[in-house]
Each structure stands twice: as C-alpha cells, then as structure tokens.
Amino acid sequence: VLSSEFCSGNTAQVEAQDDACTSFELRTAPDCHGMACETNYRTWFHFSVSGAKQDQVLSFAVTNLNPQTKMFAQGMKPSFRIGNSPNAKWERIPSEVSHSSGEGRQFTIRWKFKFSAGQQPVFFAFTPPYSFEEVTKKVDEIAAQYGPASGYSRARADSVYFERETLTKSLEGRRGGLLTISDMSGISELAEDNIPGCFPNVLPGDARQVK
C-alpha cells in the first residue's frame, strides 16, 4: 500500500506498471495544489509503502518533477526511513538512482528498494523532511522549559526570554506562530503599537513587554 496521507506527505497519482505490482510510477502534486496560489513547482514528494513481502524488491519512478539534473548528476539520492519510531533515522537510498528529462522539461528519477524490515512501513522522500508536526513538537519542548508557564525564572538579565504567540491559522486549522527568543537585558515595560488588521485577536490596549 502506497500512501501520502500524513503530515508533509505528497503524491498526486500512483500507477502500477505490471500485473505483479512490483513497479510503480508516481506523480507529485504542485506546491499549494488546489488553491488560488497553486504554482508550477513540483519537486517535493513524500510517501510510505507498507505490506511489502520480506526481501521483495520494488521499483519506483517519480515522473513529473521540475528539472533537477545538476543535483542528481552529482550523486543526489532520495531518502528513506524504516518505521514510525521517533528514533528512526533517514538515510540515502542505497541502490543506484537514475534520472532523465522528457517532453516539456518533465524530470524523472528511478530507483529500486529491497524491503527487509518485516511489516514496518518504509517512507521515501526527496530529502529528509522536517514536518510541521516535528516543528511543533520541538517548540513544545522549548516552551515547557522556558515558557511563562514552565516556572523558569526570568530574574537575571541573561535569563532566556521566550514567548509563543499565534498570529493566524491555516485553512486546515494549523497554527501560524510567532516566536520571540532573546534574553531579559534591556526589556521595556512599554507596549508595542498594534498594527491595525495584522493581529485581529489582540484587543486594543493589550500591553506586551517588548525589547
């Protein structure tokens, strides 16, 4: 089973190229797919494969990328990761990766992969991803250590000043945040002026300490 139904996943179309389902052709969706700001950029792909037999070799081809000839000519390879464990590491695909350019500057990369990790899913990506989910987790860890609710003391001038605010939310409800990371030296009690319409959730007169 091939899937991209997860954070930072991207495949638009998958077709088996043989009856035995050992060779697959994939197409990626462009950046901002389906939105008014959709672009022609098609480089990022990220998908998982589950259910492969032990030691089975499958072939993959991503066929509609923007030209990346220079990188792949210098040895660039997609990345893979085995399993969902937080400790799972991304590595470069060990097999040879071929590339070609077709009609309309359509760039294609091809590789084979031997599945030898039992029933664990294997993830493939253009490069090791750093997803929104991972960013949020990292910021949560910093907030737990230095945020206003953490109990961390800001008494000294060299104490860490950390503030996390929500500027807006995406159409999917994801938070678009503002992080302020500094120290306490020179902090002011004066409130910064609000920019009309920029922070709609900030009420007039809401004083915030700024440096």
Query: Tens of pLDDT along 149-199?
Result: 888 888 888 889 888 888 888 877 878 888 988 888 888 777 666 666 665
- Supply the pLDDT for residue 210: 39
Query: What are residue 97's DSSP bridge partners?
Result: 111
Q: How confident is the model at residue 37 (pLDDT cuts 50, 70, 90)?
A: confident
Query: Over the stretch 56-112, which tens digit does the pLDDT of each residue have?
Result: 999 999 999 999 999 999 999 999 999 988 788 999 999 999 999 987 778 999 999
Stronger pLDDT, 200 or 158, i.e. the higher one:
158
Element (H, E) at 138: helix 132-146
Give start and end residues of each alpha helix (H) in 1-86: 69-73
* DSSP run (H or E) holding 134: helix 132-146
Q: What is the mean pLDDT of residues 45-66?
A: 94
pLDDT of res. 60? 97
Query: CA-to-CA distance for 80 and 21, rounded, in angstroms?
Result: 20
> How far is the CA of 57 from the CAs of 21, 23, 52, 62, 95, in angstroms?
11, 9, 9, 17, 11
Q: What is the pTM of this model?
A: 0.76
The span from the CA of 187 to the CA of 177, in Å, is 22
pLDDT the model gives residue 207 = 42
Amino acid at 55: D
Closest C-alpha to 177, from 185, 187, 168: 168
Average pLDDT, integer, range 14-24: 94
Q: Tell me which long-range contacts 157-165 makes (C-beta under 8 A, separation of at least 24).
A: 157/183, 157/184, 157/185, 158/183, 158/184, 158/185, 159/183, 159/184, 161/187, 161/211, 164/139
Residue 42 has pLDDT above 60, yes or no: yes
Task: Output the pLDDT for position 209.
Answer: 41
What is the structure's pLDDT at 59? 97
98 membership: H or E segment, kind and range: strand 97-101
Spell out a b/e string for 89-103, using b for 16 or more CB atoms within 10 Å of the CB, else e. Answer: eeeebeeebebeeee
What mean pLDDT comes out for the span 8-37? 92
